[in-house]
Chains A and B, each alone.
Chain A
């Protein structure tokens, strides 16, 4: 519309809109844009963390990053962790949601219990798992030895690939309830009549699952996978507390690398460079997510 032609009322509405949006924009700038810009800014310096004093190095941090093996192994670890734990979350989450969607007498109890891992604080969860995994008094090793499956206690967190597998499993345990809840919510909105129509049309249970349930879950699964991929990719506390990135660096993901660089090696500039690189990688997911939601709105 031609702005000059706007009526007074329209101009007033536009002004009101700007006033109402302003607080959000300010907060957005303060908590998102500022840290982002300052991370990029810091990545161009060599900074000593305790004093935050540094010198301009231009892009040399980035040059160093590209040649650094630890970055690439951390990235690989990060991908293994994300893909591994996310797949398990989706598989268990969807399976559990389908089970809990059935009419069972303990359904409502089970639905609340399932949320437990998701609600429990990461520190507590990790302590409990460390205790379960312990090679001296852990229940897992005890059961394995008693049942005769193994003669020696297994070192779950101190060797590879056990450590990565354990981290992936604990991550799956902790976050699959999110998938359960999101999928269950969607399942409950699928009209029964669709299943009944399919039964009359001659579809067996398997056909009904693939022809009615799966297509209805597709959208919600895309959203879940994107969100969880982003969240799992930047997971820090659980891995840090469980293995600290060890043994050596075999479960060290990028967030752990950033932390180590910033607070153990005191290289805030280099740490910011890693963080910016991480963000660039996650940007791919975010763009996919935004595209997806936009194309949904269009159709």
Chain B
């Protein structure tokens, strides 16, 4: 059963249109990430769900109920803000208890519930402190505590980890996933960090320019990006995307650009001969031997592998991953082979759709 439904949500701020007809159906208990570049409308979507912002048009339902006209407090949601938004003059215990207090839950019960939340988040020692006496990660947990103490139907999290350092962030990622597993509640998680989205989510909603680009499990988003935008956005280093044209000869598709011509995996019904783009991930580029000849430009060493950028005829630049054992130097000639079985073809244009034949359900 769908738990959260956004239907044709449009949101304009004066002349700026932040969301252009967003449709999203989130299942109960799902962990969904909203992922996309800055300004794509992630926060706006979350705020519309929370009731802090009103859509220009479209309907929002949470758990069988249209909530367009329901106040934030009555929507059965809880939100964790990027800045945590802890009440600075209240202690940790008072912060966590605040939503309960506003719901007129008796003091005795309140204390028990706060205690439980504090135990879950390992905050018991800190209950008497004020927010400014806490580290970023602790503040973050207090914000989570304030959200979960009410046992809401849906958790809304706006980049909750972005203010933490790298180590704490990876720790909190695991904590959050664990928390989600324990609570079994729907969580909608805004991030522009694809690693967070990939590692934590059941499904990722990739957004760009106020539109949903793809809504699928992390693996699918990575292996079968719906369009060129998703292909280029997901994955570091980014997928190689080369403009050229598709040619059909004798039932087989070939991709051509300049004097380069590569075979393409089977395409679907929507494919047509003409301008198109070829996408292939850096891990599907083999260095050393192959039909394509160029020059090494940049080598980035990361210890376990080398990221090599090489330049080919017609200003074509291709990024690939090479084993750390292979030593490449800028300026050196290099030959590469593209593992075309793993390549993707996209229709022309920045959001051109993927043309590959859908994988047979094996």
Contacts and interface: CB of A to CB of B under 8 A. Distances in A.
Interface of A: 191, 193-194, 196-203, 207, 211-212, 215-216, 218
Nearest to B84: A193
Contacts of A216: 88-89
Given A191-B83, A193-B83, A207-B102, A199 B88 contact: no
Contact of B102 (A193, A203, A218): A203
17 contacts: A191-B83, A193-B83, A196-B72, A197-B81, A198-B87, A199-B73, A200-B50, A200-B51, A200-B73, A200-B78, A200-B99, A201-B73, A201-B99, A202-B103, A212-B87, A215-B88, A216-B89
Nearest to A197: B85
A260 B103 CA distance: 62
Given A201-B146, A215-B89, A216-B89, 5 more contacts: A196-B72, A198-B87, A200-B77, A203-B73, A211-B87
Interface string B76-98: 01110101010111000000001
A127 B79 CA distance: 57
Interface in B215-241: none
A155 B88 CA distance: 51
9 smallest CB-CB distances across A and B, nearest first, come from A202-B102, A202-B73, A193-B85, A201-B99, A215-B89, A197-B85, A200-B72, A193-B81, A199-B72
Contacts of A218: 89
A205 to B, nearest CB: 12
B52 A199 contact: yes
B355 to A, nearest CB: 44
A285 B211 CA distance: 61
Contacts of B50: 196, 200
Nearest to B89: A215
Interface string B50-89: 1110000000000000000001110001110101010111
Interface string B142-182: 00001000000000000000000000000000000000000
Contact of B85 (A196, A203, A207, A215): A196
Contacts of B87: 194, 197-198, 211-212, 215
A196 B51 CA distance: 10
B85 A194 contact: yes
B107 to A, nearest CB: 16
B315 to A, nearest CB: 47
A191 B99 contact: no
Interface residues on B, range: 20 to 34
A196 B99 contact: no
Contacts of A211: 87, 98
Contacts of B73: 199-203
A196 B102 CA distance: 14
Contacts of A198: 87, 98
Contacts of A194: 85, 87
B313 to A, nearest CB: 53
Q: Looking at A191, A201, A207, A216, which has the most chain B CB atoms within 10 Å of its CB?
A: A201
A88 B103 CA distance: 36
Contacts of A202: 73, 99, 102-103
Nearest to A190: B88
Contacts of B98: 198, 201, 203, 211
Contacts of A191: 83, 85
A200 B83 contact: no
A187 to B, nearest CB: 15
A198 B102 CA distance: 9
B79 A197 contact: yes
Contacts of B146: 197, 201
Nearest to B50: A200
Contacts of A199: 51-52, 71-73
Nearest to A195: B85
Contacts of B71: 199
B356 to A, nearest CB: 43
Contacts of B77: 200
B115 to A, nearest CB: 19
A264 B148 CA distance: 73
A207 B99 CA distance: 12
Q: Looking at A191, A197, A198, A203, which has the most chain B CB atoms within 10 Å of its CB?
A: A197
Nearest to B77: A200
A198 B85 CA distance: 9
A196 B89 CA distance: 16
Contacts of B103: 202
B99 to A, nearest CB: 4
Q: Looking at B71, B81, B146, which has the most chain A CB atoms within 10 Å of its CB?
A: B81
A201 B52 CA distance: 12
Interface string B179-199: 000000000000000000000
B143 to A, nearest CB: 8
A194 B87 CA distance: 7
Nearest to A214: B89
A231 to B, nearest CB: 28
Contacts of B79: 196-197, 200
B288 to A, nearest CB: 53
A212 B102 CA distance: 13
Contacts of B72: 196, 199-200
A41 B265 CA distance: 102
B361 to A, nearest CB: 42
A215 to B, nearest CB: 4
Nearest to B102: A202
B60 to A, nearest CB: 15
A196 B83 contact: no
A198 to B, nearest CB: 8
Nearest to A219: B89
